[in-house]
Amino acid sequence: MSNGNNKTDKLVLIDGNSIIFRAFYALPPLTNSSGLHTNAVLGFTTMLLKVLEEEKPSHVLVAFDAGKVTFRHEGYAEYKGGRQKTPPELSEQFPLLKELLQAFSIPQFELAGYEADDIIGTLSKLAEDQGKSAVVVSGDKDMLQLASDHVSVLITRKGVSDVERYTPEAIGEKYGISPAQIIDLKGLMGDASDNIPGVPGVGEKTALKLLQEFGTVENVLDRVEEVKGKLRDNIEANMDSARMSKKLATIFREVPLERTLDDIVWNGYENASLATAFRKLEFRALSERLNLGEANKEEIALSAETASKYDVVSVSADGWAGLNDALSEAEALIVEAYGDNPHQTEGIGLAIVAGTTCYVVPFAELRSPEAVPFIQWLEDESATKTGYDTHRSELVLARSGIALRGQTFDVQLAAYLLDPTEADPSLHGLLQRLNLPPILSDDSVYGKGAKFRVPAEAELAKHLAAKVDAVRRLKSLLAEKLESLRMHNLYYELELPLSIVLAGMEKQGITVNANALAELGTEFQRRIEETTNAIYAAAGFEFNIGSTKQLGEVLFDRLELPVVKKTKTGYSTDAEVLEKLEPYHEAVRLIVHYRQLSKLQSTYIEGLTKEIRPEDGKIHTFYKQTIAATGRLSSQFPNLQNIPIRLEEGRQIRKAFVPSEPGWSILAADYSQIELRVLAHISGDEGLKEAFLKGMDVHTKTAMDVFRVESSQVDANMRRQAKAVNFGIVYGISDYGLSQNLNITRREAAEFIEQYFQAFPGVKRYMVDIVEKARKDGYVTTLFDRRRYLPEINHSNFNLRSFAERTAMNTPIQGTAADIIKLAMMRMSEALRDRGLQSRMLLQVHDELVFEVPADELEIMKELVPEVMSKALPLDVPLLADVSVGTNWYEAK
């Protein structure tokens, strides 16, 4: 960016402390991926860009306060006393801002003993003396005293980038005084934020009236006998305070800076430096707005090339010989494909790195006869491979009939274990977070969304080479980190082998009967139409029931039902709201039913039907192993972990999930109360342990203890409430949450919790201890040493901190349960293989495993599965799994 030649010089002088404070409180808390807060820097930058663009300055300076003590404290030790300590979320942003300003090539001054105001006052005076104009930017109206014919002052209004421009005329119009009188104004009215007393009882109104009459503080004091009544007494009693306050408010414009205006000449910023700074801060939108993308790209490519030297060999140009010779030395593998669903993805290319050479293979080349050794290597179990998302790679290659084997390190999976909350799993992002030499992002190479294209071969080869080199660079680093955090066991013994088991389950798929779905769909459709008509009749007119906006208008504007809850964009119409509205209008019950039916129809009947693959009549889901922060799996394309079960109408969907071979059965086994059992184990609570050891119904036992009654006195309602309390305990209890769930008052909910903790003191101790531990360590772990960081556990914001506390309580429980079932899956996979069984493990639904089983293995499997699940991990309480069998998933209940 260049300013061109300004005819007249213009200075922009920014009060750094003032603006960063404003920005911090104006923007919601934001963090970058490494947990650093960046909201104040972002707000500052937005303001800065706006001012630079509008003012087109020739000189720019950001001034900061230096240290705590200034010359003002010499006369008045309480100056700025009583201020709240700067929150750590803001303090940590000062170094970020200073670094960013460097990238902008903007000079920053600070001088011990002086405030930013004084530096700015001094420089603006220098500018005036030299006939230059200046713009002062601050959030503090004290600065208005600097306004003159040459100096205008921008004061932030709301937020940061909305500013108001003050010239002497504007100040005159608004306050009826001159800039010079601003200090008199402060002298009289004081300034609470700086702890400047002024004259007690004199506010802005009175002070302005006095100044209009007397002009200055000194004149007010000299002619105080002309003032009437109580005000006069006040002034007379506080003359010294007024004089001192005026002095404190006066900006000192003779700071011994030893700098000249030449030191703050600004010739614009370097795109590349700013691009780097924005990238670190993850200010992507700003980067885009300033068109730094290209600069970013060049700079990244440059640094990647200098950081890691390798030759790029593309087999379509240079033949296969080199690659085939290098296979035994291969250190890393990339299988590149596009599309999110690995069962439908199209391969783009592969790359391996060996020594100083990266070999790149366009996907189509795999069909070449010369590719045979390479394919043999891919399928060779003993040829170990380090890759990135090898689970996906296996599925992608399987589509071309290639069986990937020998995956012994997956960089993505390792990175997930090291920080499972990290949202960006890309190699590009990973390198960035670890401060390693970067590579281009996939988005910048391929374009995103509709703009996606595979670039010309040379560019593609370069990118894949950079990726495979990055995988190699990351491997040893991540492997070491796993060791040092004692997570190698979890990684090598559980997650990595599990990824192969998962790929097997996904490739196997589950047969879904499209006709059964279609029949159900016809029935649902009929009822949807019926319900739609009934709703129109009840309402008296037609509208789009599926539009929450229209529905809200109908319910609350036209039918005038009471508003229960609002969303940030309008009326809430969710199930909880509708439940409360039922008594008011007959349409409400129908709407609830309509919602149920249309959910079933669109998500399950239509959604699942689309996912049935015509070749084999099966649905192949994709389990993501690196999404859930607790260690659970997630299921996509489609999600088979949320197939309806709670309501009978939806549960019918499960009838369409059938065995793939005639005469086989579906076998489902689920853990009974696994999370509460885990809680009993890790908390060591005697009462809870006893309940499980004696085989009691845990919700009934909870009801007995919370309500202090005998088991015979526990009715259905008490059990229901106790069950909700147990859920609450697992989720990280709060009285508010429980009260919402049970529709009771917060006080009553708090009472339940109190009773619960009295009955189960071990659980209480666990909750207190785990939060304490999280505060101390910054993370919590599961029994298998899976780890989750909770950077917000010490946050000053109540909501963020409370969320982190509940997460601290929940994650070890949910996460350990996830560990256990993952281990059970490994054991089952081994058991099926070792015993030569034909039965197949098809699905995992958090605490449930689904198999298809031939008739002659039914008896074995009914024993084996629950046994393996129960023994997956010995706890202080028994782990139980219930098993059931049917001709479809519905019947296996």
**Footprint (CB under 7 A) of DNA, residues 818-877:** 845-848
DSSP 182-209: HHHHHHHH-BGGGTB--STT--HHHHHH
Q: Whose Cβ is closer to DNA: residue 77's or residue 450's?
A: 450
Of 109-117, 130-138, 631-639, 704-712: span binding DNA (CB under 7 A):
631-639
What's the DSSP call for residue 784? T
Site string for DNA, 572-601 (x = CB under 7 A): xxxxxxx-------------x--xx-xxx-
Instruction: Using alpha carbons, select from 831, 815, 880 the residue that is nearest to residue 501.
Output: 831
Of 20-28, 468-476, 562-570, 772-780: span binding DNA (CB under 7 A):
562-570
Give CA–CA dist 794/561, Å, rounded: 42
Hey, what are 832's tokens? 């099926």
Q: Whose Cβ is closer to DNA: residue 400's or residue 567's?
A: 567
The answer to whether residue 548 forms part of the interface with DNA (CB under 7 A) is yes
Of 628-636, 680-688, 710-718, 776-784: span binding DNA (CB under 7 A):
628-636
| The pairing of beta strand 407-410 with beta strand 385-387 | parallel
Of 169-177, 295-303, 526-534, 798-806: span binding DNA (CB under 7 A):
798-806
Helix (H), strand (E), coil (C) string for 204-266: HHHHHHHHHHHCCHHHHHHCHHHCCHHHHHHHHHCHHHHHHHHHHHCCCCCCCCCCCHHHHEC
What is the smallest separation between the CB atom of 451 and DNA, expressed in angstroms? 10
Q: Whose Cβ is closer to DNA: residue 273's or residue 548's?
A: 548
What is the smallest separation between the CB atom of 738 and DNA, expressed in angstroms? 4
Hey, what are 347's tokens? 């391969």
Interface pick for DNA out of 639, 660, 794, 887 (rule CB under 7 A):
639
In angstroms, the Cα distances linking 613 to 521, 527, 617, 851 are: 18, 28, 5, 20
Determine the length of the chain.
893
Interface pick for DNA out of 306, 515, 569, 717 (rule CB under 7 A):
569
Q: Whose Cβ is closer to DNA: residue 871's or residue 893's?
A: 893
Hey, what are 69's tokens? 């003590």
What's the DSSP call for residue 37? B
What is the smallest separation between the CB atom of 575 and DNA, expressed in angstroms? 4
Q: Whose Cβ is closer to DNA: residue 65's or residue 282's?
A: 282
Q: Whose Cβ is closer to DNA: residue 634's or residue 887's?
A: 634
Instruction: Using alpha carbons, select from 821, 827, 871 the residue that is nearest to residue 844.
Output: 821
Q: Whose Cβ is closer to DNA: residue 227's or residue 885's?
A: 885
Hey, what are 499's tokens? 């990824």
Q: Whose Cβ is closer to DNA: residue 335's or residue 730's?
A: 730
The answer to whether residue 695 forms part of the interface with DNA (CB under 7 A) is no
Give the three-state DSSP class for 778. coil
Hey, what are 490's tokens? 């979890």
Residue owning tokens 């420089």: 123
What is the radius of gyration, based on Cα positions, of the chain?
A: 34
The answer to whether residue 650 forms part of the interface with DNA (CB under 7 A) is yes
Of 157-165, 374-382, 542-550, 873-881: span binding DNA (CB under 7 A):
542-550
The answer to whether residue 740 forms part of the interface with DNA (CB under 7 A) is yes
Interface pick for DNA out of 810, 829, 839, 870 (rule CB under 7 A):
810
Of 100-108, 531-539, 620-628, 862-870: span binding DNA (CB under 7 A):
620-628
φ, ψ (nearest 5 deg) of residue 279: -65, -45
Report whether 528 contacts 595 (CB < 8 A). no
What is the smallest separation between the CB atom of 285 and DNA, expressed in angstroms? 9
Give CA–CA dist 583/602, Å, rounded: 28
Secondary structure percentages of the chain, helix, strand, coil, to 5:
55, 15, 30
What is the smallest separation between the CB atom of 726 and DNA, expressed in angstroms? 8
Q: Whose Cβ is closer to DNA: residue 267's or residue 544's?
A: 544
Q: Which of residues 661-690 bind DNA (CB under 7 A)?
A: 670
Of 368-376, 492-500, 513-521, 632-640: span binding DNA (CB under 7 A):
632-640
What is the smallest separation between the CB atom of 503 and DNA, expressed in angstroms? 17
Give CA–CA dist 211/803, Å, rounded: 52
The answer to whether residue 745 forms part of the interface with DNA (CB under 7 A) is no
Give CA–CA dist 50/159, Å, rounded: 13
Q: Whose Cβ is closer to DNA: residue 314's or residue 811's?
A: 811
- The angle formed by the CA atoms of residues 36, 37 and 43, to the nearest 5 degrees, is 140
Interface pick for DNA out of 95, 686, 736, 769 (rule CB under 7 A):
736
The answer to whether residue 550 forms part of the interface with DNA (CB under 7 A) is yes
Q: Which of residues 385-404 bind DNA (CB under 7 A)?
A: none
For residues 243-272, b (16+ Cβ closer than 10 Å) or e, as one string? ebbbbbbbbbbebeeebebeebebeebebb
What is the smallest separation between the CB atom of 628 and DNA, expressed in angstroms? 4
Interface pick for DNA out of 473, 632, 787, 822 (rule CB under 7 A):
632
The answer to whether residue 803 forms part of the interface with DNA (CB under 7 A) is yes
What angle, 0 to 180 degrees and rounded to 10, lies between the N-to-C axes of helices 116-129 and 16-26?
Answer: 120
Site string for DNA, 415-454 (x = CB under 7 A): ---------------------------------xx-----
What is the smallest separation between the CB atom of 796 and DNA, expressed in angstroms? 10
Report whether 793 contacts 771 (CB < 8 A). yes
Site string for DNA, 704-733 (x = CB under 7 A): --------------------xx-xx--xxx
Interface pick for DNA out of 814, 839, 870, 888 (rule CB under 7 A):
814
Give the three-state DSSP class for 338. strand
Give CA–CA dist 677/698, Å, rounded: 10
What is the smallest separation between the CB atom of 12 and DNA, expressed in angstroms? 32
Interface pick for DNA out of 224, 627, 750, 783 (rule CB under 7 A):
627
Give CA–CA dist 801/794, Å, rounded: 6
Interface pick for DNA out of 178, 344, 700, 741 (rule CB under 7 A):
741
Q: Whose Cβ is closer to DNA: residue 739's or residue 839's?
A: 739
Of 230-238, 431-439, 540-548, 695-703: span binding DNA (CB under 7 A):
540-548
Report whether 622 contacts 637 (CB < 8 A). yes
Which amino acid is present at 203? Answer: G
Residues in contact with 1: Cβ distance below 8 Å, sequence separation at least 6, in sequence order: 268, 269, 271, 290
What is the smallest separation between the CB atom of 44 and DNA, expressed in angstroms? 22
Interface pick for DNA out of 212, 544, 711, 884 (rule CB under 7 A):
544
Q: Whose Cβ is closer to DNA: residue 513's or residue 548's?
A: 548
Give CA–CA dist 690/684, Å, rounded: 10
Interface pick for DNA out of 157, 165, 232, 549 (rule CB under 7 A):
549
What is the smallest separation between the CB atom of 734 and DNA, expressed in angstroms? 3
Q: Whose Cβ is closer to DNA: residue 470's or residue 724's?
A: 724
Q: Whose Cβ is closer to DNA: residue 565's or residue 871's?
A: 565
In angstroms, the Cα distances linking 436 to 4, 166, 187, 358, 427 are: 37, 47, 55, 19, 11
Hey, what are 106's tokens? 């903007």
The answer to whether residue 624 forms part of the interface with DNA (CB under 7 A) is yes
Bridge partner list, 151: 134
What is the smallest separation between the CB atom of 601 and DNA, expressed in angstroms? 8
Which amino acid is present at 415? Answer: A
Q: Which of residues 2-31 bind DNA (CB under 7 A)?
A: none
Q: Whose Cβ is closer to DNA: residue 250's or residue 596's?
A: 596
| The pairing of beta strand 665-671 with beta strand 848-853 | antiparallel
Size of site (CB under 7 A) for DNA: 80
